[in-house]
């Protein structure tokens, strides 16, 4: 078993491009199922990260800081001799997961492997605009209620006391990562970025989407889809097409071999 299999347990081999995906607060790998299916028709294999405290790793202590999360990623990538990142690959993050994807992209650019072909950031303000929400410090009932009010979790699960008991710990840990994140100005990534928002997403205003351009020195693309914050479940097919189109733009921009 590869060291990366612990972090990406559902990863399957592919001859095409791999898209490593990072979920929003409280979510697991299943949140990417619709997009995974849609991308399969585009020749892209999506594999979602599973962090401690959920799914197969339920008994593990969840990360409570971005530094801790990045340390695990760096450890498994190094022990795996960066083999997962020697082929053609891209990164995607949804909502708070976009901050994780951005930080991992910065790590991989400086690692002994290929850089990502593309960074896709969905439903997330650019790093300088990501501020402490205070949600991580709320009592558990309020923390769950505030998170539930944002959507993205089936109502049936929110009514399941056993589910809420299991999810309380990783949910608070995810909010601690987001609330504890601090932006430090850095040169733009030499990686193309596709920034995506829903046109009805009040949490990511239209004028903020373009500010992601400051995070790259390469090609910058945007897409606005007819939905709210939850583009993964509301517009997965359209998102898959935007990702495929972005990859085509990047490939056409490269000099002929």
**CA 242 – CA 221 distance, rounded (Å):** 10
Q: Domain of 38?
A: 4-130+187-253
Q: Is residue 176 assigned to a domain?
A: no
187-246 pLDDT tens trace: 999 999 999 999 999 999 999 999 999 999 999 999 999 999 999 989 999 999 999 999
Q: Is the residue at 149 inside a domain?
A: no
Asked whether residue 178 is domain-assigned, the answer is no
Residue-level pLDDT at 8: 94
- Among 54-63, 70-79, 124-133, 157-166, the least confident range: 157-166
Work out whether strand 193-198 and strand 220-225 pair parallel, antiparallel, or are unpaired.
parallel
> Which pLDDT tens digit goes with each residue over 181-196?
999 999 999 999 999 9
Residue at 92 is within a domain = yes
| Total domain count, the chain | 1
Q: Is the Cα torsion angle 4, 57, 30, 22 positive or negative in sign?
A: negative
Higher-scoring residue by pLDDT: 42, 13: 42
Alpha-carbon distance of 257 to 251, in angstroms, equals 11
Residue 154 covered by a domain: no
Query: Does residue 161 form part of some domain?
Result: no
Judge whether 164 lies within some domain: no
Between residues 27 and 192, the one the model is more confident about: 192
Q: Quick check: helix, strand or coil at residue 121?
A: strand
CA distance 246 to 229: 21
Q: Show the tokens assigned to 150.
A: 């944002």
Domain at 85, CATH number: 3.40.50.1820
According to DSSP, the residues that pair with 194 across neighbouring strands are: 120, 221
- Residue 217 in contact with residue 191, Cβ under 8 Å? no
Token pair 């708070």 is found at 96
Whole-number Å distance between alpha carbons of 172 and 46: 26
User: Would you state the pLDDT for residue 198?
Assistant: 97
Q: Residue 128 is inside which H or E element, if any?
A: none
R_g of the chain computed on alpha carbons: 17
Task: Tokens for 209, please give them.
Answer: 């989407």
pLDDT given for residue 154 in this prediction:
66
Residue 167 in domain: no
Provide the pLDDT for residue 107. Answer: 98
Give mean pLDDT, residues 111-128. 97
Task: Using pLDDT thresholds of 50, 70 and 90, give the confidence band for residue 257.
Answer: low
Q: How far apart are CA 124 and CA 255, in angstroms?
A: 32
């Amino acid at each position: 078993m590869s060291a990366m299999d612990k972090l990406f347990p559902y990863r399957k081999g592919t001859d095409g491009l791999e898209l490593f995906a990072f979920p929003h607060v409280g979510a697991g790998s299943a949140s990417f199922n619709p997009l995974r299916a849609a991308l399969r028709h585009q020749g892209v294999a999506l594999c979602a990260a599973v962090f401690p405290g959920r799914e197969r790793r339920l008994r593990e202590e969840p990360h409570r800081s971005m530094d801790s999360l990045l340390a695990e990623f760096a450890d498994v990538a190094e022990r795996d001799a960066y083999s997962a990142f020697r082929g053609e690959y891209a990164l995607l993050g949804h909502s708070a997961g976009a901050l994780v994807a951005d930080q991992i992209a910065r790590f991989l650019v400086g690692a002994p492997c290929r850089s990502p072909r593309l960074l896709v950031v969905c439903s997330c303000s650019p790093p300088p605009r990501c501020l402490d929400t205070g949600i991580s410090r709320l009592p558990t009932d309020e923390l769950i209620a505030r998170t539930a009010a944002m959507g993205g979790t089936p109502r049936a699960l929110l009514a399941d006391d056993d589910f809420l008991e299991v999810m309380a710990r990783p949910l608070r840990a995810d909010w601690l990562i987001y609330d504890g994140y601090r932006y430090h100005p850095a040169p733009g990534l030499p990686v193309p970025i596709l920034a995506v928002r829903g046109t009805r997403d009040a949490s990511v205003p239209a004028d903020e989407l373009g500010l992601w351009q400051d995070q790259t020195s390469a090609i910058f693309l945007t897409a606005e889809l007819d939905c709210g914050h939850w583009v993964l479940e509301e517009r997965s097919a359209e998102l898959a097409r935007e990702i495929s189109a972005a990859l085509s733009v990047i490939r056409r921009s490269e000099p002929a071999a």
